């Protein structure tokens, strides 16, 4: 049943039906026609797919991003970014990489990151002559990293499914995240050098100082967010709401560049963007349920049966399987459907379970922006980017991310060095 | 051949999964494979409440679901959440396998379920970032609870602030110190690694986390009487096996937590426990109306008679 | 003539109602969560229903928000094929997908209503606020019915000059 289901789905996708219907309607149809399962299941999944508190980071970070963009916070921060890194080749794009990594590490939600950082950085990057496909590819790639960097619900689910220490997984994610981020920074630098994007004149001490002073309120945001989370005041998801409150305060009470009408537009705009994004997340959950119950996991198991215990073969096979699965499934579904089996195969080949978790996380992150069904490719649509631009833009960064993945897979120490300092028995 | 999708919320190395496998074996053998049991562990089909909804319209056929999660469908299930209701496992088994348990299972029928038997996750223990040996130690402390007014009331009786936090976010919330304490059976404390981020685990046994093994009623009603009988008996027998394995595995879980070396395990004396029981006692009265006063009285009488009989 | 006036008036009223509801839900969810965090941090008091209220507000916002998104043509889709086709065929394809979307949403609205009716029978309540769950799920049939209406509305209205230009380019 899976091949014909996939064919229908891709046909609807190409015909241009909205993505949420492309995912939900084939599930409904196949449930009704080929299974005894009542089609109302789709409705139940559409609801429960987004009735999750951690997903509330999506509306709040979108709203915070819009408030900052409209209320003057972004303009001031961008001025500072240009003053600080503008003269450096690729400086602005590197700023985007770092902001994306920060946002996604906090929210754990790459769609929220792509939209929030995208609203902030896309216009500035376009102005600085970066092409749209390059910019969006960069944002999607860097924004997908949240599940690798702690805190990460993906790692928590992986830990509970496999019995591996979550603390060790969090630490292992740091090394892998740094390597992945460094690969992005490097490519950005090379790209900018090649395209001659060594930005704006030279550095000016006076401009830097003035921009610093001007953007002080905006600069405080990462400190408030990180301080609040690591000081135990609020959870990462709640941090998104705190960011909204702070951005609203600065915008309305300090800068006063936005009137009530402007506020209304920002709220309405954020509500619609949230709807665009989350209705796709909701239907992806119906899609995952269908895949789970129609033997997807079994298919993978029989494919990998008898793979043996040669370390390199197993590494390649596991990464290939997760990479393909990641094009269709969200990271948490991958853990639940595939990991119990992959874990057995991997440990038999002597692969450290913490290392396996990091590899799968990086792999699932790559799946988030890999065509045809990577969620972030669709989410980019809410920034006025066409699917084709997003898909084209994603390609070079998929290769960058894959290069990082190969490094992370072949050099376990990247992930395991840090946790091995604290947790005994890791990487031995 | 009929497919029976069986959901549960724990990994494959749990007593719950062993029970599910036992159920599969019994059902498939006794129906001559007319029913194919397919097990979905780890919440693969959704969390407990979501799957319970799916069972109401027949998309999933069977599941052991924590009674605390089912109380939103039938209030009498909250009986089992009452703190210090059962002094030990055997008492819990006797009451739940007797008249009281049957009346609770019967209540599930109006919610679209056929209640077959009770399985378990075990007694809940309290973990904290400090040692807690008396209710007063919880004064002003923030404790993570699931979204349940009864469990919130239980912590508030001891002066703690009860904060509902999603299960998946609890590890981080404990790690960063958004909350200081949480309660769960040992199996969940181990699976979710709460011991990595909590310094003390109190063997408080303050509440019993039972699971009701239920079938989808719309689906169950389509089966012939013989098959129904096979399913009910298999649920019961697999449940007996699951309970035994749950108790056996728990001892090993405790050792693993102890060996991890990040958590002090605090054993409370009977005197200390009875101070906790007294402190939480008002919850019984406060929730009796919701659960059904007769049922609460009957359950307590049965527990008392079992105690004196020993 | 009058019919068109009525339609335009209805559209304006519906859009205004949607806007008020969406803004209220978003503001409410932020306010509730901020109140919860502030009370917890400064007064050690919890609002146990805050997370639940936030989730339900956002779920409603998402499915109602699908309606203005449909009206503005903002639902995300792959437009590669319509871009490639000659303008006349492209326009036909757009119309066809809009009508298919309207039909698809109508089907989802109908199944949504079926689920709500089942939930009414079973009396499930939300864990903290203890609201009947069918009321929360009502967002889906209402949201999809509105989306069906909006997709049909866009399909029926003649394409604007801007739309044509977009297709030509
Ligand atoms: Na993260
Ligand atoms: Na089977």
Give mean pLDDT, residues B4-20: 96
Q: Using CB atoms, which residue from A41, A237, A337 is nearest to B44?
A: A337
Q: Is the pLDDT of residue A3 over 60?
A: yes
Report the separation in Å between the CA atom of B36 and the middle of ligand 2, taken as the mean of its atom positions. Answer: 5
Give the closest ligand to the alpha carbon of residue B4.
Answer: 2
Cβ contacts of A417 within 8 Å, gap of 6 or more: A175, A427
Looking at residue C1, its pLDDT comes to 59
Q: By the 8 A CB rule, do B151 and B181 touch?
A: no
A44–C118: do the CB atoms touch at under 8 Å?
A: no
CA distances to A9, A283, B273 from A34, rounded to whole Å, are 16, 19, 56
Minimal Cα–Cα distance from C151 to chain A, Å?
Answer: 11
Contacts of A156 in chain B (CB under 8 A): 168, 171-172, 192
Enumerate the domain spans of chain A. Answer: 52-420
The answer to whether B113 and B73 are in contact (CB under 8 A) is yes
Residues of A with Cβ-Cβ distance to C139 under 8 angstroms? 47
How distant is the Cα of A276 from the closest Cα of chain C, in angstroms?
A: 6
- All residues of chain A having their beta carbon less than 8 Å from the beta carbon of residue B43 are 336
In chain A, the percentage of residues whose pLDDT exceeds 90 is 51
Averaged pLDDT, A322-333: 86
Q: How far is the CA of A370 from the centre of ligand 1 (A)?
A: 20
Q: Could you tell me the two tokens for C30?
A: 């932020």
Which one of A30, A34, A42, A44 makes the best mutation probe of the B interface by having the most chain B beta carbons within 10 Å?
A44
Asked whether the beta carbons of B185 and B92 are under 8 A apart, the reply is no
Q: Which residues of B touch C116 (CB under 8 A)?
A: none
**Minimal C-alpha gap between B156 and chain C (Å):** 10
| pLDDT surpassing 90 at residue A267 | yes
Structure tokens that stand for C29 in this block: 């969810």
Mutate to test the interface with A, among B10, B45, B112, B169 (most CBs of A within 10 A): B169
pLDDT in tens, A175-211: 999 999 999 999 988 888 888 776 666 788 888 899 9
- Does the pTM of the predicted model rise above 0.90? yes
- How confident is residue A125, by pLDDT bands cut at 50, 70 and 90? confident
ipTM reported for the complex, 2 dp: 0.94
Chain B contact present for A424, CB below 8 A: no
Whether chain C has a CB inside 8 Å of the CB on B77: the answer is no
In tens, the pLDDT along C54-87 reads 999 999 999 999 999 999 998 988 877 777 788 7
Question: Would you say A392 and A133 are in contact if contact means Cβ atoms under 8 Å apart?
Answer: yes
What average pLDDT does range C85-102 have in this prediction? Answer: 89
Residue B284 pLDDT:
97
- Interface contact C77-A234, CB threshold 8 A: no
Segment B209-268, tens digit of pLDDT:
999 999 999 999 999 999 999 999 999 999 999 999 999 999 999 999 999 888 999 999
Across the interface, whether the CB atoms of C27 and A59 are under 8 A apart is answered: no
Tokens at A394, concatenated: 């994603």
pLDDT surpassing 50 at residue C169: no
CB-closest option in B57, B162, B163 to C118: B57
Q: Which residues of C touch B111 (CB under 8 A)?
A: 122-124
The chain-wide mean pLDDT, for chain A, equals 89
Q: Does B112 touch chain C (CB under 8 A)?
A: yes
Taking the C-alpha atoms of residue B257 and residue A216, their distance in angstroms, rounded to an integer, is: 47
**Which of A16, A43, A233 has its CB closest to that of C79?**
A16
Determine the distance in angstroms separating the CA of B110 from the nearest CA of chain C, rounded to an integer. Answer: 7
Q: How confident is the model at residue C135 (pLDDT cuts 50, 70, 90)?
A: very high
Q: Which pLDDT score, from 0 to 100, does residue B215 have?
A: 98
Minimal Cβ distance to A272: which of C36, C68, C105: C68
Q: C122 near C100, Cβ under 8 Å?
A: no
Q: Look at residue A198 in the predicted model and tell me its pLDDT.
A: 64
Mean pLDDT of B66-95: 96
Query: With an 8 Å Cβ cutoff, is A108 touching chain B?
Result: no
Is the pLDDT higher at A84 or at C119?
Answer: C119
Those residues whose C-beta lies under 8 Å from the C-beta of residue C33, and which sit 6 or more positions away, are A56, A60, A238, A241, C50, C51, C54
Q: Which of C51, C123, C124 minimises the CB distance to B164?
A: C51
What phi, psi does B213 have (nearest 5°)? -85, 115
What's the pLDDT score for residue B191? 92
Nearest-CB residue to C48 (from B56, B162, B166): B162
- Residue A40 to residue C56: CA distance in whole angstroms: 20
List, for residues A335-379, the tens digit of each pLDDT value.
888 998 899 899 889 999 999 999 999 999 999 999 888 889 988
Domain boundaries, chain C: 3-168
Burial (Cβ within 10 Å: 0-12, 13-18, ≥19) of residue A47: buried
Contact at CB, A40 and B57, closer than 8 angstroms: yes
Q: pLDDT digits over A369-388, tens only?
A: 998 888 899 889 888 888 88
Percent of chain A with pLDDT over 70: 98
Task: Provide the pLDDT for residue C168.
Answer: 44
What is the DSSP-derived secondary structure letter of residue A380? G
Does the pLDDT value for residue C162 go beyond 80?
no
| Cβ within 8 Å of A, C 42-61 | 51, 54-56, 58-59, 61
Nearest-Cα distance to chain B for C135, in Å, is 14
Most confident range, picked from A276-290, A301-315, C71-85: A276-290
Name the helix (H) or strand (E) containing A151: none
Mean pLDDT, chain C, integer = 90
Distance CA A142, CA A157 (A): 22
Q: How far, in Å, from the CA of B64 to the mean position of ligand 2?
A: 17
């Amino acid at each position: 049943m899976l091949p014909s289901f996939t064919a229908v789905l891709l046909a609807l996708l190409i015909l241009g039906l909205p993505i949420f219907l492309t995912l939900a309607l084939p599930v409904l149809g196949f449930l009704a026609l080929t299974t005894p399962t009542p089609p109302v299941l789709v409705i139940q999944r559409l609801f429960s797919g987004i009735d999750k508190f951690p997903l509330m980071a999506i509306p709040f970070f979108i709203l915070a991003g819009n408030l900052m963009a409209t209320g003057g916070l972004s303009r001031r921060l961008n001025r500072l970014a240009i003053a600080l890194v503008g003269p450096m080749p690729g400086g602005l794009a590197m700023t985007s990489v770092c902001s994306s990594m920060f946002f996604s590490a906090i929210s754990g939600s790459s769609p929220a990151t792509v939209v929030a950082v995208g609203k902030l950085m896309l216009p500035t990057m376009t102005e600085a002559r970066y092409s749209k496909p390059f910019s969006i590819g960069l944002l999607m790639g860097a924004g997908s990293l949240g599940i690798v960097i702690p805190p990460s619900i993906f790692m928590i689910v992986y830990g509970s499914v496999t019995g591996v220490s979550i603390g060790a997984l969090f630490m292992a994610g740091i090394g892998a995240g740094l390597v992945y981020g460094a690969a992005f920074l490097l490519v950005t630098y090379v790209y900018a050098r090649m395209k001659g994007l060594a930005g704006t004149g030279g550095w000016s001490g006076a401009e830097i100082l003035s921009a610093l002073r001007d953007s002080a309120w905006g600069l405080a945001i990462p400190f408030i967010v990180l301080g609040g989370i690591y000081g135990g005041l609020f959870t990462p998801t709640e941090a998104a709401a705190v960011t909204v409150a702070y951005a609203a305060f600065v915008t309305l009470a300090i800068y006063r560049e936005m009137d009530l009408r402007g506020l209304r537009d920002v709220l309405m705009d954020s509500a619609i963007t949230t709807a665009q994004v989350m209705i796709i997340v909701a239907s992806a959950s119906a899609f995952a349920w269908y895949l789970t119950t129609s033997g997807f996991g079994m298919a993978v198991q029989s494919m990998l049966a008898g793979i043996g215990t040669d370390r390199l073969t197993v590494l390649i096979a596991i990464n290939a399987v997760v990479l393909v699965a990641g094009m269709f499934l969200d990271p948490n579904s991958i853990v639940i459907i595939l990991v119990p089996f992959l874990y057995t195969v991997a440990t038999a080949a002597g692969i450290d379970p913490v290392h396996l978790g990091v590899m799968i996380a990086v792999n699932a992150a790559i799946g988030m922006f890999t065509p045809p069904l990577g969620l972030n490719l669709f989410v980019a649509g809410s920034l006025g980017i066409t699917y084709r631009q997003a898909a084209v833009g994603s390609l070079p960064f998929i290769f960058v991310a894959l290069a990082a993945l190969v490094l992370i897979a072949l050099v376990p120490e990247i992930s395991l060095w840090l946790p091995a300092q604290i947790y005994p028995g890791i990487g031995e | 051949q009929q497919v029976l999708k069986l959901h549960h919320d724990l990994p494959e190395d749990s007593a719950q999964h062993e029970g599910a496998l036992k159920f599969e074996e019994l059902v498939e053998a006794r129906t001559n494979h007319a029913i194919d049991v397919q097990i979905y562990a780890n919440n693969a089909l959704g969390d407990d409440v979501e799957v319970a909804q799916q069972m109401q319209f027949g998309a999933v056929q069977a599941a052991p679901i924590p009674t605390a999660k089912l109380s939103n469908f039938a209030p009498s299930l909250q009986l089992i959440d009452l703190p210090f209701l059962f002094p030990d496992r055997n008492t819990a088994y006797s009451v739940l396998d007797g008249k009281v348990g049957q009346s609770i299972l019967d209540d599930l029928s109006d919610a679209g379920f056929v209640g077959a038997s009770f399985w378990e996750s075990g007694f809940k223990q309290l973990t904290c970032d400090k040692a807690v040996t008396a209710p007063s130690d919880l004064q002003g402390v923030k404790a993570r609870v699931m979204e349940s007014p009864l469990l919130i009331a239980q912590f508030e009786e001891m002066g703690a602030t009860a904060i509902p936090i999603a299960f998946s976010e609890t590890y981080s919330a404990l790690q960063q110190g958004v909350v200081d304490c949480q309660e769960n059976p040992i199996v969940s404390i181990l699976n979710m690694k709460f011991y990595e981020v909590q310094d003390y685990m109190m063997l408080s046994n303050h509440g019993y986390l039972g699971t009701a093994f239920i079938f989808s009623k719309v689906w169950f009603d389509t089966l012939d009487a013989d098959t129904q009988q096979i399913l009910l008996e298999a649920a019961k027998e697999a449940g007996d096996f699951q309970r035994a394995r749950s108790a056996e595995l728990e001892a090993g879980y405790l050792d693993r937590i102890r060996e991890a070396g990040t958590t002090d395990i605090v054993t409370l004396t009977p005197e200390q426990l009875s101070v906790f029981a007294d402190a939480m006692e008002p919850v019984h009265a406060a929730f009796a109306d919701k659960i059904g006063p007769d049922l609460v009285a009957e359950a307590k009488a049965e527990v008392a008679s079992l105690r004196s009989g020993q | 003539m009058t019919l068109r006036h009525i339609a335009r008036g209805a559209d304006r009223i519906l859009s205004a109602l949607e806007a008020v509801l969406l803004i209220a839900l978003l503001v409410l969810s932020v306010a509730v969560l901020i109140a919860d965090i502030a009370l917890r941090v400064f007064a050690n008091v919890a609002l146990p229903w805050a997370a639940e209220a936030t989730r339900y507000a956002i779920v409603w916002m998402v499915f109602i928000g699908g309606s203005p998104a449909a009206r503005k043509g903002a639902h995300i889709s792959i437009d590669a094929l319509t871009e490639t086709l000659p303008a006349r065929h492209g326009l036909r394809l757009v119309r066809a997908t809009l009508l298919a979307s309207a039909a698809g949403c109508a089907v989802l609205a109908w199944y949504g209503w079926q689920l709500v009716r089942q939930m009414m029978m079973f009396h499930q309540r939300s864990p903290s606020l203890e609201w009947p769950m069918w009321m929360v799920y009502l967002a889906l049939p209402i949201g999809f019915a509105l989306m069906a209406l909006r997709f049909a509305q866009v399909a029926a209205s003649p394409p604007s000059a801007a739309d044509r230009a977009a297709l030509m380019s």
